[in-house]
Amino acid sequence: MRFFIDDGSTNIKLAWVENKEVKTLISANSFKPEWSLGLGNSLPPNYEIEGEKYSFDPLSYDAITTRETRYQYSDINVLAIHHALLQTSIEPKDIDVIVTLPLSEYLDTNNQPNKENIEKKKNNIKKPVIFQGGNTFKINKVTVLPESIPAGFDVLTKLDDEDSLLIIDLGGTTLDISHVSGKMKGIIKVWCDSKTGVSIITQSLIDKLSSSSNTKVNSLQSDQLIINRSNHEFLKKRIPDAEKLDSIITTISEKEKILTKKVIDSLERFSGYTHVMCVGGGADIVAKEIKNRINIPDDRFFKSENPQLDLVLGMLAMKG
């Protein structure tokens, strides 16, 4: 059995085929050192990898930061994948997985596959994980694909040979942009900025709230504030310090503009594309402004209702 995995720094996105039906799942990353204590008969999601103990905890301020490129080769990356797999309806078994690497890691300085990083990723994913009170999946074969490009598979297969697609993938940590020719005949140009991602907003909120002990948040909680930035009732419930509410709303707005400008500035490196696609967890933040700036017709601009799943579904369509 094969699982297609977009193992981003913020969420793990899964896609698999079960009984001829495509299924998907999004699982957040929020792990702290040491095990948690459960209440009653329920066991918390406690894990062990290479002698170190961790627990999945969406509320802990001590959750380990995953907004760096090194996360791709870390123990937390492996735990996040196994935690996501255990949220599916599949009984733990031997499986094969197809995972991703940011373009900056997948490609070398000559824009060729970086064999060293790819092998490093494969070996890391195969590390065995112990789950307290239960079994885990055994990962046998690991295939590594570049981020962003598979997300455009369905669109690219329908384009003419003279057309090309610009895929803008804004994630929690990185911005990957790929210019790909129609029918996926070749990659014209790629660009990756490992310092541009939704984490620009996430970290600002963490810093803003850190001065007050009753409003400290971890990365997962900060991301929820960003997702619900237009829902003032949600924000009021999550930020008990009323005096900080207006300041938080202002911070989100200011950093959103900064992030959008960084993405748009990166687009100046590309030209000659006929179609544009926005994918990734940050697509909803920047897509509208991107479309306005490049002034592309509606039928040539693509953003799905859930752009977080575009990459993993593209991987399944391409390899499944």
Indicate the domain borders of the chain: 2-147+312-319
How far is the C-alpha of 224 from the C-alpha of 212, rounded, in Å?
Answer: 19
pLDDT (0 to 100) of residue 209: 82
The three-point CA angle 224-226-232 to 5° equals 90
Q: 77-92 burial, b for 16+ CB within 10 Å, e for fewer?
A: bbbbbbbbbbebeeee
- Kindly state the helix (H) or strand (E) to which residue 138 belongs, with its residue range: strand 138-146
Q: For the residues 158-168, what does the mean pLDDT come to?
A: 95
Highest mean pLDDT, choosing among 46-50, 102-106, 206-210: 46-50
- Kindly state the helix (H) or strand (E) to which residue 90 belongs, with its residue range: none
pLDDT (0 to 100) of residue 173: 87
Q: Which of 15, 75, 80 is nearest to 45 (CA)?
A: 80
Residue 52 has pLDDT above 90, yes or no: yes
pLDDT in tens, 117-161: 999 999 999 999 999 989 999 999 999 999 999 999 999 999 999
Return the minimum-mean-pLDDT range out of 26-40, 143-157, 271-285, 292-306: 26-40
Q: For the residues 15-28, what does the mean pLDDT come to?
A: 95
Confidence of residue 214 (pLDDT cuts 50, 70, 90): low
pLDDT in tens, 70-81: 889 999 999 999
Q: For the residues 29-55, what does the mean pLDDT come to?
A: 90
Complete edge-to-edge strand list for the sheet that includes strand 187-193: 187-193, 175-181, 164-170, 275-279, 301-302
Return the minimum-mean-pLDDT range out of 26-35, 56-65, 97-106: 56-65
pTM for the model stands at 0.91
How far is the C-alpha of 51 from the C-alpha of 128, rounded, in Å?
Answer: 11
Residue 213 has pLDDT above 60, yes or no: no
Residue 278 has pLDDT above 70, yes or no: yes
Q: Which of 114, 282, 103 is nearest to 190 (CA)?
A: 103
Q: What does the block give as tokens for 238? A: 């999550």
Q: CA gyration radius for the chain?
A: 20
Q: For the residues 66-95, what does the mean pLDDT come to?
A: 92
Q: Are strands 11-18 and 2-7 parallel, antiparallel or unpaired?
A: antiparallel
How far is the C-alpha of 21 from the C-alpha of 94, rounded, in Å?
Answer: 20
Q: Report how far Cα 9 is from the mean position of its chain's Cα atoms.
A: 5
How far is the C-alpha of 249 from the C-alpha of 237, rounded, in Å?
Answer: 14
Q: Are 82 and 136 in contact (CB under 8 A)?
A: yes
Question: Of all residues in the chain, what percent carry a pLDDT higher than 70?
Answer: 98
Hey, which CATH number is domain 2-147+312-319, 3.40.190.10, 3.40.50.2300, 3.20.20.70, 3.30.420.40?
Answer: 3.30.420.40
Q: Are 90 and 65 in contact (CB under 8 A)?
A: no
